Chain A
Amino acid sequence: MKRQGGLNIVLLLVSLVLVGVFTAVSAAAPIYVGGMIVTTIIYAALATSWNVVGGFAGQLSLAHAGFFGLGAFTSSILYVKLDISPWIGLVIAIIAGAAVAFLIGVPTFRLRGPYYALATLALGIILYSLSVQLNSITGGHAGMSLPPTPSWANMTFLQQWPYALIAGIYLLICLGVGVWIVSSRLGYQLAAVREDEEAARALGVNATKVKLIAGTISGALAAGVGTIYAQYVLFITPDSVLGTAVAIEIIVFAVVGGSGTVFGPLLGAVLLVPVGQVILREFGGALPGLHTLVYGIVVVIVVLLFPRGIAGLIGAAQRRIRGRGVRA
């Protein structure tokens, strides 16, 4: 992990530059390119935030659509009903995400592997049902529309590039948090828990505590992405932000890119989101579902052949070159 630390800083700086580049591109390019850029960045941020608990800690959360939706609805309700600026809504959404993630984590992190995944799946569905149930606040199945009055104060814009910038900076924050965790004591302890929880405990790791920390950070970051998304599309429904489809998609991106690494999810999103969007646009009418089919096939192939994702392939290649011994 020591060499990894240096590499991560480099990658972070590269990402910083890329955010700038893509913001500029989205300003100049046609709208659908800009849209693709923004969507990719948003999903990359979401997958990166999931990765903190899913990849670093090895806890496969199926509830992250829940945090995403929680953030989206929190800031949107505050904005629409109480006229609170989305910027403040963003902060509140992050806090709400942290709080809910913490509360969810306390009972569920005691569960092992698949049962944790099931519990989070149930929680995701509960959150979905709640949002439908509380239809006086959320608008139920019909969802909520946000007022399209563009201004920086309202985090609403006519062009794509401000969204790319804001989402890009948020992505950088998520990546930065990831880099910090991975090179800190928390990162090592999370990795130990992921590899072998009982061995980790014997080595002094308070497994429940570190999982809880990771879960809380992860939920908080995911909620923030929800706010940005809501401000981007200006129309959210329980199905669009709280459905299990989103929850599964971000796992796909993270796993394909490489879930144990900081930049893996970003890699996965960059590869799969544009491909999915193009397929959706070209074939979406005639063959709906083709883009998710591609996602499904890709993730199955990745799990079969190179379970550590693309980042894992790169890492293995690096190790082979240095002659250190390849991961079994």
Chain B
Amino acid sequence: MTSVAQVLVSGLLIGGIYALLALGITLVLGVMKIVNFAQGELMMVGMYLTLVLNTAFGLHPYVALPIVALGLFLLGVLIHAGLIRWVVDRGHTQQIVMTLGVGIILQSLALMLFGGSFQTVPVPPFLGGTISIGPIQVATARLAAFILATIVTVVLLLLLNRTLVGRAVRATAMDTDAATLMGIPVRRVYLVTMGIGAALAGIAGVMLTPLYPVYPTVGVNILMLGFVVVVLGGLGSITGAFVGGLIVGVVEALSGLWLGASLSQIVVFALFLLVLLVRPQGIFRGDVA
């Protein structure tokens, strides 16, 4: 019998994955002012890459993590250099359609290469699957995801606030023209940002593989959750993405407990709409910090 506390903890932990996905979205949004509708597909690519590394080389997802992160970083850079950078200055309509197009391409390639079936990465449950903290059973995979999300958030915050590169990124986010005038290579900042955003999606995918099957359209619904987190947490706010992820995880878990799975979806999206309409700036202010 699942207690509320149990569900609460589970939701909190999976919020880590939502946070990871949202971090990528919010970073790109804050710096480039682009809403990346392909973020879910980037996560999907990360998941398939994890699967391939596992089946071909026997790598455990957590071991493959740096490889996937790097691979997705390169993919993000490629996508930006080839496609996104041409629409950065154009209206949002073109940006939306462009990222939707990229998403379709990635999805279709996945379908063509791997087929539409649900696949799982066959790894033995991490550290036995669950550990007990008091009366609460904690799934180790969720705990790992949560811990990683925390680490990533802290690293990002440190990078953005304490390093020169980070300051360049924040300056670009605040005012692109002023940043250019101050000698900041804005185009390079965009490139790196896009790469990091993709890498974050890949990391989210890796952490999700022990918990969820891999299939070409896995990115679609998760993308929506990512956006809910971003809007809730504050567009462009790293802290907000983390906190928002946890909140959404908890809300989803609790409404799943009390209302059932499909209704919990509706609750989450209704919450999203509510936030969009009532307090669109979210909890934390943006400006990528």
Residues B273 and A122 in contact, CB atoms below 8 Å apart: yes
Q: A114 contacts which chain B residues (CB < 8 A)?
A: 35, 92, 95-96
Interface residue? B263 (CB, 8 A): yes
Interface residue? A281 (CB, 8 A): no
The residue from B94, B107, B276 contacting A289, defined by CB atoms under 8 A apart: B107
CB within 8 Å for A289 and B262 given contacts A126-B269, A296-B104, A304-B83 = no
Q: Select from chain A the residue with minimum beta-carbon distance to B270.
A: A126
Interface residue? A248 (CB, 8 A): yes
Q: Tell me the bound Cα distance from A299 to B266 in angstroms.
A: 31
Q: Select from chain A the residue with minimum beta-carbon distance to B271.
A: A122
Q: Tell me the bound Cα distance from A146 to B90 in angstroms.
A: 46
Shortest beta-carbon distance, B142 to chain A, in Å?
A: 24
Interface residue? B280 (CB, 8 A): yes
Interface residue? B115 (CB, 8 A): yes
Q: Tell me the bound Cα distance from A93 to B177 in angstroms.
A: 50
| B interface secondary structure, majority | helix
**Chain A 149-186 against B: per-residue CB contact (8 Å), 1 yes, 0 no?**
00000000000000000000000000000000000000
Q: A252 contacts which chain B residues (CB < 8 A)?
A: 100-101, 104
Shortest beta-carbon distance, A112 to chain B, in Å?
A: 8
Interface size of A as a range? 35 or more
CB within 8 Å for A113 and B216 given contacts A119-B276, A125-B265, A303-B97 = no
Residues A289 and B111 in contact, CB atoms below 8 Å apart: yes
Residues A130 and B266 in contact, CB atoms below 8 Å apart: yes
Interface size of B as a range? 35 or more
Shortest beta-carbon distance, A155 to chain B, in Å?
A: 31
Q: Tell me the bound Cα distance from A114 to B280 in angstroms.
A: 12
CB within 8 Å for A307 and B272 given contacts A125-B224, A290-B112 = no
14 additional A-B pairs beyond A119-B272, A288-B115, A303-B101, beta carbons within 8 Å, are: A113-B91, A113-B93, A118-B35, A119-B276, A125-B221, A125-B224, A129-B263, A129-B265, A133-B262, A251-B100, A288-B116, A289-B110, A293-B109, A299-B100
Residues of B in contact with A (beta carbons under 8 Å apart): 35, 37, 83, 86-87, 90-98, 100-105, 107-112, 115-116, 216, 220-221, 224, 227-228, 231, 262-263, 265-266, 269-270, 272-273, 276-277, 280
Residues of A in contact with B (beta carbons under 8 Å apart): 58, 60, 107-108, 110-115, 117-119, 121-123, 125-126, 129-130, 132-133, 244, 248, 251-252, 255, 287-290, 292-293, 295-297, 299-300, 303-304, 307
